[in-house]
Amino acid sequence: MNIIVPVKLVPDLVEELSIDASGTALDTAWLRMIINEFDDHAIEQAILLKEKTGAHVTILSTNVEGVDDLLFAAAAKGVDRIIKLNGDIESGVNNHALSRAMSTIIRDLKPDLILTGVQAHNDLDGSIGPQLAEYLEMPYIGYISGVNVSGDKVIVRKEYPGGLIGEMQVSLPALLGIQAAEQPPRYVAISKVRQMMKTMSIEELDLSSLDSSGAPIVNRLFQPESGERATMLSENADEAANQLITIFKELGTL
Amino acid sequence: MATTAISHTPSFSETFFNSLYKGENGERFRTCLQCGSCSGVCPFGYLMDYPPGRMIAGLRADEFDLVMETDTVWMCVSCYACAQICPSKIPITAGLMTRTKEELLLAGNVPSELQSALENSQRYGNPMGESPRKRADWTMGIQPQVTVLGRDKRPVDVLWFVGDYPSYHPRVQLVTKSLAKVLNALGLNFGILGPEENSDGDTQRLAGERGLFEMLAEKNGRMFSKYQFERIITSDPHAYNALKNEYPALGISYPVQHYTQFLAERIDQLKPLLKQEVQAAVTYHDPCYLGRVNGIFNEPRILLESIPGLKLVEMAHNQTTSLCCGGGGGGMWLDGFQWEKAHARLSEWRVHEAVDIGANILAVACPYEPPRFEDAIKTIPQASKLMVKDIIELLAEALG
């Protein structure tokens, strides 16, 4: 079975985000990138399938800072082929453009199964999975937390709100949006990652054209603003405690 | 007549034993008497399926794969009590325990709490996953301003390797600020790396992540080589141990002192400044990596005794027999895992000892300890009046 896992790097929220001069995008100068958490689960699920039933796993990611580390770490976990996609990514590409451009590349790789993270925190124009499935004319099921292969079909567990799990069967080829792998993403020792850096090479492919049309246009990106009805407490714990006492007294609860 | 060669594929036990044998003092593994002292002195030995003595027996019986099937070794806090007591001087902590953790980690068998600390260390250079850009934020408001070498671009006499918990942990930052106060009071020319500093990596190494340790050491080594300084000091015994005993093998070699050594050498300048009395019975907890591992027992006590009004009392376990706070060898990042197994915290045993001796203050000299002991105090009613202070906090108080 040929499994393709398209993953992306997203802004790491450990650093404070700032808005750029245009007021419509993040300032990339101080941005640290990290693998989208759900994509990390998609990689883990692909490796679990490889271990259970045998599969060839390929990972694709766009060429932004941090992509080499991501790909070598995936290789150390057991991924067979690592590819980075070149193109005019830095100018702020959206999921519409990315899924269009990736669909031609992925079609050539002749996948049986595509796994990708069900969503990412920077999906401003919808998650990438369903869009990719549309261009590839494949069935899509999202919010998946378990995958079993049975012949030319897979049986998946889909999570619903309220703690319900649905089990459904889908014919291959298909695209699944992974909510959680069957086990948390594994740890891989740094020495193994370093070994991969010496022995494995990253293939590079070009994203032909990036067409962002069809997506909503961002008019304004901004930090949350405090509403007029909210009372903001001091950051100083003692002052905040005094403020709270006054408020509780005013409200008659003290 | 043709002879038939019997092919022999070495077992895991054999391969592992050979690798241990080749390590420093590795031949001593053959001299184990099976006296059981190591298993007896190990603070968690009583609940390990394979305490150190049985691990060595398993190794010699070619049955080490049984040890690998258990998670025993993740109870090891790398406190060196076993290595200290061993009559054959077998490198149990440095060799057997650390190498076993390495093998488990290579096989992907890591408790999840530890996994996130290791991933954070790799990604952010600190096990808590804090922003590297905020590593020097603790210096805000300190006067005179703390020199950050990359920003202020001037040579210093003393490079202060601050460390992870001293940089980020809100409780330990108080200790860090106290050290800045004392260094400033002595008029010393010192600086820090700030955002260019990475975790020293020693505890990650002792938790089995050798590759991560080397990566972090190389990053620190590159930064050290960029700047001019005479020596390194640190408040963290784990950083001290790494810089003194492990970094030189990677070609990173600088004179390094724990702050207790550095200040004890300057006691004649420091003592006249200590004017404020600290009226308290103080007992000192020897950190494993300052005391047992590196033999620094006197300097911390010299500093404490220089404080006017302070009365030093010793706990039942002191100096080489000091009890571990439970934070070493990855214990800092295995609290949940170890609690599930033991339903006891090593820090609680230590706090009981401090209470028994009638101490008002439990003095420490390692950044793992203030949060660990203060947490333990919260769970022990008779310890409610015991305070935990780093030695440098007491010195800073005595400065007035």
CB-based burial, A32-44: b 16+ in 10 Å, e otherwise: bbebbebbbbbbb
Q: What is the ipTM of this complex?
A: 0.88
For residue B2, pLDDT beyond 60: no
Token couple for A223: 């930090």
Residue A64 to chain B, least CA–CA distance (Å): 16
* Per-residue model confidence as pLDDT tens digits over B213-252: 999 999 999 999 999 999 999 999 999 999 999 999 999 9
pLDDT for B21: 94
- Best probe of the A interface among B101, B104, B121, B124, by most A CBs < 10 A, is B124
Length of chain A: 254
Integer Rg of chain B from CA: 22
pLDDT band for position B5 (cuts 50, 70, 90)? low
Token couple for B162: 């601050």
Give the ranges where B188-266 is alpha helix by DSSP (H). 202-206, 210-226, 237-241, 259-265
Q: In which domain, by residue range, is B223 found?
A: 112-265
* A191 in reach of chain B (CB within 8 A): yes
pLDDT band for position A158 (cuts 50, 70, 90)? very high
**Separation of alpha carbons B213 and B202, rounded Å:** 6
pLDDT for B156: 98
Assigned domain for B332 exists: yes
Residues B151 and B180 in one domain: yes
Residue B218 and residue B144 in contact, taking contact as beta carbons nearer than 8 Å: no
Residues B247 and B327 in one domain: no
Q: Which residue of B has its CA nearest to A13?
A: B131
For residue A249, pLDDT beyond 90: yes
Question: What value does the mean pLDDT take over residues B305-317?
Answer: 97
pLDDT band for position A93 (cuts 50, 70, 90)? confident
Residue B270 to chain A, least CA–CA distance (Å): 34
* A184 in reach of chain B (CB within 8 A): yes
Helix (H, G, I), strand (E, B) or coil at B394: helix
For residue A71, pLDDT beyond 80: yes
Residue B180 to chain A, least CA–CA distance (Å): 24
Share of residues in chain B with pLDDT > 70 (%) = 98
Residue among A16, A34, A187 minimizing CB distance to B118: A187
Q: Is the dihedral of CA B126, B130, B134, B140 positive or negative?
A: negative
Cβ-based contacts of A190 with chain B (< 8 Å) = 122, 209, 211-212, 214-215
Residues B65 and B124 in one domain: no
Share of residues in chain B with pLDDT > 90 (%) = 96
Partner-chain contact A191 B118, CB within 8 Å: no
Residue A83 and residue A59 in contact, taking contact as beta carbons nearer than 8 Å: yes
**Separation of alpha carbons B117 and B74, rounded Å:** 14
Q: What is the 3-state secondary structure (H, E, C) of B258-296?
A: EHHHHHHHCHHHHHHHCCCCCCEEEEECCCCCCCCCCCC
Cβ-based contacts of B131 with chain A (< 8 Å) = 14-16
Token couple for A125: 């124009």
* A121 in reach of chain B (CB within 8 A): no
Residues B123 and B228 in one domain: yes
Which of these, B92, B84, B90, lies nearest to B52 by C-alpha position? B92
For residue B4, pLDDT beyond 70: no
pLDDT for B309: 96
Token couple for B118: 């290791």
For residue B29, pLDDT beyond 70: yes
Residue A177 and residue A140 in contact, taking contact as beta carbons nearer than 8 Å: yes
Q: Is the dihedral of CA B55, B56, B57, B63 positive or negative?
A: positive
Partner-chain contact A190 B209, CB within 8 Å: yes
CB burial of residue A101 (10 Å; 0-12, 13-18, 19+) = buried
* Per-residue model confidence as pLDDT tens digits over A208-245: 888 888 898 889 999 888 777 878 898 899 999 999 99
- The one-letter code for the residue type at A229 is R
Residue B52 and residue B82 in contact, taking contact as beta carbons nearer than 8 Å: yes
CA distances from B171 to B130, B247, B334, B363, B393 (A): 15, 28, 20, 15, 12
The size of the A-B interface in CB pairs under 8 A is 37
pLDDT for A253: 87
Partner-chain contact B131 A190, CB within 8 Å: no
**Separation of alpha carbons B17 and B11, rounded Å:** 10
Residues B240 and B309 in one domain: no
CATH number of the domain within which B128 lies: 3.40.50.1860
Residues B75 and B217 in one domain: no
pTM flag (> 0.90): yes
Helix (H, G, I), strand (E, B) or coil at A117: strand
Residue among B112, B118, B130 minimizing CB distance to A184: B112
Token couple for B125: 């250079």
Cβ-based contacts of B215 with chain A (< 8 Å) = 190, 194
Assigned domain for B1 exists: no
pLDDT for B388: 98
**Separation of alpha carbons B172 and B168, rounded Å:** 8
Residue A218 and residue A24 in contact, taking contact as beta carbons nearer than 8 Å: yes
Residue among B110, B112, B212 minimizing CB distance to A190: B212
Question: What value does the mean pLDDT take over residues B81-88?
Answer: 97
Residues B122 and B225 in one domain: yes
Residue B324 to chain A, least CA–CA distance (Å): 27
Strand partners, A84: A61, A204
For residue B376, pLDDT beyond 60: yes
pLDDT for B3: 59
Q: Which of B45, B72, B106 is the last residue of a domain?
A: B106
Question: What value does the mean pLDDT take over residues A123-135?
Answer: 95
Partner-chain contact A187 B215, CB within 8 Å: no
Cβ-based contacts of A37 with chain B (< 8 Å) = none
Which of these, B187, B183, B256, B258, lies nearest to B224 by C-alpha position? B256
Assigned domain for B306 exists: yes
Assigned domain for B91 exists: yes
> What is the enclosing helix (H) or strand (E) of B343?
none
> What is the enclosing helix (H) or strand (E) of B232?
strand B231-234
**Separation of alpha carbons B219 and B201, rounded Å:** 11
Cβ-based contacts of A34 with chain B (< 8 Å) = 123
Partner-chain contact A194 B211, CB within 8 Å: yes
Tell me which of A229 and B83 has the higher pLDDT.
B83
Partner-chain contact B131 A186, CB within 8 Å: no
DSSP assignment string, B293-307: TT---HHHHHHHHTS
Token couple for B148: 């950050």
- Mean pLDDT of the residues in chain B: 96
Q: Which residue has the tokens 């406190």?
A: B79
Q: How many domains does chain B have?
A: 3
Residue among B131, B214, B215 minimizing CB distance to A14: B131
For residue B324, pLDDT beyond 60: yes
Q: E strands, chain A, where? A: 2-7, 9-11, 33-35, 56-62, 81-86, 113-117, 140-150, 153-160, 164-171, 174-178, 203-206
CB burial of residue A213 (10 Å; 0-12, 13-18, 19+) = exposed
Residues B260 and B119 in one domain: yes
pLDDT for A85: 96
pLDDT for A228: 79
Sketch out chain A's domains with CATH numbers.
2-206 (3.40.50.620)
Residue B396 and residue B181 in contact, taking contact as beta carbons nearer than 8 Å: yes
Q: What's the first-to-final CA gap in chain A, in angstroms? A: 67
* A65 in reach of chain B (CB within 8 A): no
Assigned domain for B282 exists: yes
Residue among A184, A190, A192 minimizing CB distance to B122: A190
Question: What value does the mean pLDDT take over residues B140-152?
Answer: 95
pLDDT band for position A145 (cuts 50, 70, 90)? very high
Question: What value does the mean pLDDT take over residues A110-114?
Answer: 98
Residues B78 and B178 in one domain: no
- Best probe of the B interface among A188, A194, A195, A197, by most B CBs < 10 A, is A188
Residues B259 and B285 in one domain: no
Q: Which residue has the tokens 């490796």?
A: A47
Strand partners, B345: none
Residue among B105, B130, B131 minimizing CB distance to A189: B105
- Best probe of the B interface among A9, A187, A188, by most B CBs < 10 A, is A187
Chain centroid to Cα A178, Å, comes to: 9
* Per-residue model confidence as pLDDT tens digits over B69-80: 998 899 999 999
Q: Which of B84, B106, B128 is the last residue of a domain?
A: B106
CB burial of residue A204 (10 Å; 0-12, 13-18, 19+) = exposed
Residues B384 and B302 in one domain: yes
Question: What value does the mean pLDDT take over residues B339-353?
Answer: 95
Residues B283 and B150 in one domain: no
The C-alpha angle with vertex A93 and arms to A91 and A96, in degrees rounded to 5, equals 160
Q: Which of B79, B106, B133 is the last residue of a domain?
A: B106
**Separation of alpha carbons B69 and B71, rounded Å:** 7
Chain centroid to Cα B263, Å, comes to: 20
